[in-house]
């Protein structure tokens, strides 16, 4: 009997402890929830209700690979700034991106001085390596210099460094992510906008007299509509869809102000490039593929020639060209921006120009599923494909 009563007494006490523990846990949960709703510094910012309590809201959409779309629609619902997590604010303005992205260099200026010093040292080191390699016989090492020398012959020494760079450009992986994204997206849009495709092909085929001329230089840089198509593609389908988050250091003494909002310590501020580049305030008709929006008014004769049978840009676009360029950030901004930006533009321009010089293409099917296609039918353009043989098409 004693043992039975002792066991029952212990079980009763454990039950009481469990009830007290449950009560404490529930109280703490209610307090935490109440703090997020009533006392948290970000309590007055709008946003999804669940996002006030957990980062799981953004995590769920990230797993679904649609966080950029959820962020875009949330901006439409809640405005240019909203609370996406307990300690995160997302802005949808170009001014916010320019305030948020330079935080690191402003907070720790020593980083900039170190980067400049290391950059000079790195440049000197590379120059030394190049000079030592050029001083060796051509076949001393199996590298790009020896391969280029095998193609050029004894005249390899006469090649300038700019010419060697033009040959080596496609061996460098910088900008590769942007290149693949831009190429696939640009052909996607061009295949659905035959007028833009015709204008671009005409510009390239009128600018160059031979496929051999399609290389680095003033001619390629003069293809304004090509650059406009690339910019419009990067705007509509940026290679990086994630929100770029920034947070000042805890010992940051100056108030951190973004678009007039004083950001509390411990709060992360983010700007999503997809949302900013689809903001109607900067880009009217943000989901329309309109490369001509990037052509400056001072290029009037060129613009008139290319867009005579298209809808001309609206006066608002003419006035807001500077604001469009300020909001254009497919490579991020500041010290953490993409180092391969120039390389990505260069490689994409070369690839598109060479493709449209040699090939013609069209859609295989006019109607395709959302997750499939487009499937393109590619055909050689007259006899220009022969320039690809016998080492004819140089870069």
DSSP string of 154-213?
GGGGG--HHHHHHHHGGG--TTHHHHHHHHHHHHHHHHH-HHHHHHHHHHHHHH-SSGGG
pLDDT tens track, the chain, 395 positions: 445 456 666 666 777 777 778 778 877 777 767 767 777 889 899 999 999 988 999 999 999 999 999 999 999 999 999 999 999 999 999 888 877 655 455 555 555 555 566 666 666 666 677 677 777 777 777 776 676 665 555 555 555 555 555 555 555 555 566 778 888 899 889 988 989 999 999 999 999 888 888 888 888 989 999 999 999 999 999 988 889 888 876 666 778 888 889 998 889 999 999 999 999 999 999 999 999 999 865 454 455 555 544 445 555 555 678 889 889 988 877 656 676 778 888 889 999 999 888 877 777 666 555 556 667 777 677 776 666 654 444 44
Q: Are the CB atoms for 272 and 329 separated by under 8 Å?
A: no
| pLDDT score of 203 | 94
Helix (H, G, I), strand (E, B) or coil at 9: helix
Assign domain 173-239+287-388 to a CATH class: mainly alpha
- Residue spans of the domains in the chain: they are 112-170, 173-239+287-388
Cα(36)–Cα(48) distance, integer angstroms: 13
Cα(385)–Cα(46) distance, integer angstroms: 58
Cα(55)–Cα(47) distance, integer angstroms: 12
Annotated binding-site members for heme:
338
Give me 98's structure tokens: 């320019």
Cα(349)–Cα(355) distance, integer angstroms: 10
Q: Would the CA dihedral through 95, 97, 100, 106 be positive or negative?
A: negative
| pLDDT score of 29 | 73
pLDDT in tens, 172-199: 555 566 778 888 899 889 988 989 999 9
Helix (H, G, I), strand (E, B) or coil at 73: helix
| pLDDT score of 277 | 95
Q: Residue holding tokens 């320019």?
A: 98
Q: Are the CB atoms for 243 and 67 separated by under 8 Å?
A: yes
Query: SS3 breakdown of the chain: % helix, strand, coil, rounded to 5?
Result: 60, 10, 35
pTM over 0.85: no
DSSP string of 262-316?
EPPTT-EEEE-HHHHTT-TTTSSSTTS--GGGGS-GGGHHHHHHHSTTSPPPPHH
223: closest CA among 306, 283, 289?
Answer: 306
Query: Residue 361 forms beta bridges with which residues?
Result: 378
Annotated binding-site members:
338
């Amino acid at each position: 009997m004693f043992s039975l009563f002792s066991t029952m007494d212990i079980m009763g006490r454990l039950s009481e402890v469990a009830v007290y523990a449950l009560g404490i846990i529930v109280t703490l949960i209610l307090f935490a929830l109440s703090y997020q709703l009533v006392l948290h510094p970000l309590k007055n910012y709008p946003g999804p209700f669940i996002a006030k309590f957990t980062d799981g809201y953004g995590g769920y959409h990230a797993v679904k690979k649609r966080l950029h779309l959820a962020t875009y629609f949330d901006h439409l619902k809640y405005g240019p700034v909203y609370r996406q997590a307990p300690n995160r604010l997302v802005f949808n303005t170009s001014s916010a991106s320019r305030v948020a992205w330079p935080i690191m260099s402003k907070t720790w200026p020593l980083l900039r001085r170190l980067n400049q010093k290391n950059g000079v040292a790195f440049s000197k080191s590379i120059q030394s390596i190049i000079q030592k390699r050029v001083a060796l016989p051509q076949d001393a090492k199996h590298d790009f210099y020896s391969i280029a020398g095998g193609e050029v012959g004894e005249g390899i020494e006469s090649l300038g460094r700019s010419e060697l760079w033009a040959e080596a450009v496609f061996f460098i992986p910088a900008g590769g992510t942007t290149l693949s994204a831009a190429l696939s997206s640009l052909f996607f849009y061009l295949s659905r906008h035959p007028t833009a495709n015709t204008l671009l092909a005409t510009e390239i085929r009128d600018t160059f007299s031979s496929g051999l001329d399609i290389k680095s230089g003033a001619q390629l840089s003069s293809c304004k509509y090509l650059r406009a198509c690339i910019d419009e593609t990067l705007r509509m389908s940026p290679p990086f869809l994630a929100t770029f988050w920034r947070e000042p250091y805890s010992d940051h003494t100056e108030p951190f102000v973004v678009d007039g909002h004083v950001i509390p310590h411990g709060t992360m501020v983010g700007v999503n490039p997809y949302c900013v580049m689809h903001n109607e305030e900067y880009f009217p008709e943000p989901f329309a593929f309109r490369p001509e929006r990037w052509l400056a008014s001072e290029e009037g004769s060129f613009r008139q020639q290319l867009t005579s049978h298209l809808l001309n840009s609206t006066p608002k676009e003419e006035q807001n060209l500077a604001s469009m360029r300020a909001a254009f950030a497919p490579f991020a901004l500041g010290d953490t921006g993409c180092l391969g930006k120039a390389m990505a533009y260069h490689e994409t321009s070369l690839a598109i120009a060479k493709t449209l010089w040699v090939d013609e293409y069209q859609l295989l099917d006019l109607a395709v599923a959302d997750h499939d296609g487009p499937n393109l039918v590619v055909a050689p353009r007259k006899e220009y494909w022969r320039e690809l043989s016998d080492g004819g098409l140089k870069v």
